[in-house]
Amino acid sequence: MSEKGPLVTQLEQKLNEAFNPATLDVINESHLHAGHQPGFDGQGESHIRIRMTADHFNGMSRVNIHREVNALCADEFEAGLHALAIDVKGTA
């Protein structure tokens, strides 16, 4: 998808503010999940992938990284985000 939706834009802003990443990609992958559930046509922003590197995560375990990212995205889950793929690591 070439156009960013409001959820992707919101997540980019939150992640930039919280972690000051060296690299950041927030990707809407909802279209890849069309037909996985009855009535889901892949439209919208329900399945998001985050790819990020940031000094903030240096020395952290994968579990703790996922906890921090999921906690930051709690409001988005509450508002209807269904799935979040997290590909995040430190820069070191």
Q: What is the mean pLDDT of residues 66-71?
A: 97
Angle formed by the axes of helices 6-19 and 62-72, nearest 10°: 120
Residue 39 sits in a domain whose CATH number is 3.30.300.90
- pLDDT of 33 higher than 70: no
- pLDDT of 87 higher than 50: yes
Give a yes or no: residue 1 inside a domain.
no
Give a yes or no: residue 12 inside a domain.
yes
Give a yes or no: residue 29 inside a domain.
yes
Q: Which residue has the higher pLDDT, 82 or 31?
A: 82
Q: What is the pLDDT of residue 3?
A: 64
Return d(Cα 27, Cα 10) in angstroms, integer: 12
Instruction: Specify the number of domains making up the chain.
Output: 1
Return d(Cα 63, Cα 68) in angstroms, integer: 9
> Which residues span the domain enclosing 53?
6-89
Give a yes or no: residue 70 inside a domain.
yes
Give a yes or no: residue 77 inside a domain.
yes
Return d(Cα 56, Cα 68) in angstroms, integer: 11
